[in-house]
Homo-oligomer: A and B are copies of this chain.
Amino acid sequence: MTDRAAAMQRRQLLIATGAALTAPALAQAQAGNPLPSWRDGPRRQALLDFVAAVTTEGSPDFVAPADRIATFDNDGTLWVEQPAYTQLFFVLDRIRALAPQHPEWSADALFRAAIEGDMAALGAGGTAGLVKLAGAALAGTTPEQFETIAAEWLATARDGRWHRPFTELVYQPMLEVLAFLRAKGFGTFIVTGGGVEFVRAFADRTYGVPRSQVVGSTFALKPGETDGRITLTREPQIDFVDDGPGKPIGIARHIGRRPIAAFGNSDGDYQMLRYTTEGPGRRLGMIVHHDDAEREYAYDRQSHIGHLEKALDEAPQRGWQVISMKDDWSRIFP
């Protein structure tokens, strides 16, 4: 496939995948009620009050548009992260697809677990194991190839519970927050522990966030030359982990400005929430609390994925708003 054909196919896949969630959300945001999927209550009010305070000229809390930066975690904050990160399903499918070309993988317990979909064995390998798999699954791809592979997967893969594309398992109330903030002059950035290229493959279509406003973990890129053209290929080694203490660093590096609002759902967002709300002036920190087993999932302190404990315990003293999915959101998915 030529580069141009690949780019066109990628675009078509992205359009097919994204299901145009952004435009309706934006239209709603600009109409009378910017947050129609939020129930009246202290969390919705806190959000509205914050935005009014920082965007009303003459307000003591007024913030110029260039300083209106809001950051959003992705997994568990903007889309579903249970029973496992979507990116993990992507990596496992890729490992399975490549396995015939890698007979040596069958001698490795971690890769065998991946090929057989043995989630317990994968869990035992911990984060290091998952990073190793993610590295092996996509090593050698150029950024353009990665995006084509990810877009193809997102267009065809379905989640096990709702049997819907993963890009439809995004939280409608958060799409409304994104659109509302942008309508109020904010720059909205995703700051994810996930791989930056994976999230970029759908962020524009799904969230209305352009690629350059996605900050994430990165694998090393190796410059080279193929057929007289410069190429960048992905190495198997991760070189920046944009999670926990890495999030403020990713923000400083990439955005160059401390956010005034941050949204997360786990202890992996604790430092981002602190870094945001410890700045001077009016600030907003919000935590999506998964307490709705019926419509989505209920988990916090006991969960390995999306573990939420420290941030939850400190939320009252730090003034962070804890969003109850069950009580605060009238609707979960678009």
**Interface, chain A (partner B; CB < 8 A):** 2-4, 7, 66, 143-144, 187, 189, 196-197, 200, 204, 210-214, 218, 221, 223, 229-230, 232, 245, 248-249, 252-258, 271, 274-275, 278-281
Partner of A187, one of B212, B230, B252: B212
- For this chain, the copies found in one complex come to 2
Partner of A271, one of B210, B230, B249, B255: B230
Q: When the two chains form their complex, are residues A275 and B230 in contact, meaning their CB atoms are under 8 A apart? A: yes
* Complex interface: chain B residues within 8 A of A249 (CB): 221, 223, 232
Q: When the two chains form their complex, are residues B212 and A255 in contact, meaning their CB atoms are under 8 A apart? A: yes
Q: When the two chains form their complex, are residues B4 and A256 in contact, meaning their CB atoms are under 8 A apart? A: no
Q: When the two chains form their complex, are residues B196 and A256 in contact, meaning their CB atoms are under 8 A apart? A: yes
* Complex interface: chain B residues within 8 A of A232 (CB): 248-249, 252
Least CB distance, A38 to chain B, in whole angstroms: 28
Q: When the two chains form their complex, are residues A211 and B245 in contact, meaning their CB atoms are under 8 A apart? A: no
* Complex interface: chain B residues within 8 A of A2 (CB): 280
**In the assembly, what is the distance between CA of A210 and CA of B65, in Å?**
11
> Which residue of B is nearest A257, CB measured?
B211
* Complex interface: chain B residues within 8 A of A223 (CB): 245, 248-249, 271
> Which residue of B is nearest A224, CB measured?
B245
* Complex interface: chain B residues within 8 A of A252 (CB): 143, 221, 232
* Complex interface: chain B residues within 8 A of A230 (CB): 248, 271, 274-275, 278
**In the assembly, what is the distance between CA of A281 and CA of B8, in Å?**
11
Least CB distance, A216 to chain B, in whole angstroms: 10
A-B contact pairs, 7 of them (CB 8 A): A3-B279, A3-B280, A66-B204, A66-B210, A211-B256, A221-B249, A229-B278
Q: When the two chains form their complex, are residues B248 and A212 in contact, meaning their CB atoms are under 8 A apart? A: no
Asked if A254 meets B256 with Cβ closer than 8 Å, knowing A221-B249, A223-B249, A249-B223, the reply is no
Q: Which of A144, A214, A229, A252 has the most CB of B within 10 A?
A: A252
* Complex interface: chain B residues within 8 A of A221 (CB): 249, 252-253
* Complex interface: chain B residues within 8 A of A248 (CB): 223, 230, 232
* Complex interface: chain B residues within 8 A of A204 (CB): 66
* Complex interface: chain B residues within 8 A of A197 (CB): 256
Given contacts A212-B254, A223-B249, 10 further A-B contacts (CB under 8 A): A2-B280, A3-B279, A3-B280, A7-B280, A66-B210, A189-B212, A212-B213, A212-B255, A230-B271, A254-B254
> Which residue of B is nearest A271, CB measured?
B230
Q: Which of A197, A257, A275 has the most CB of B within 10 A?
A: A257
Q: When the two chains form their complex, are residues B4 and A281 in contact, meaning their CB atoms are under 8 A apart? A: yes
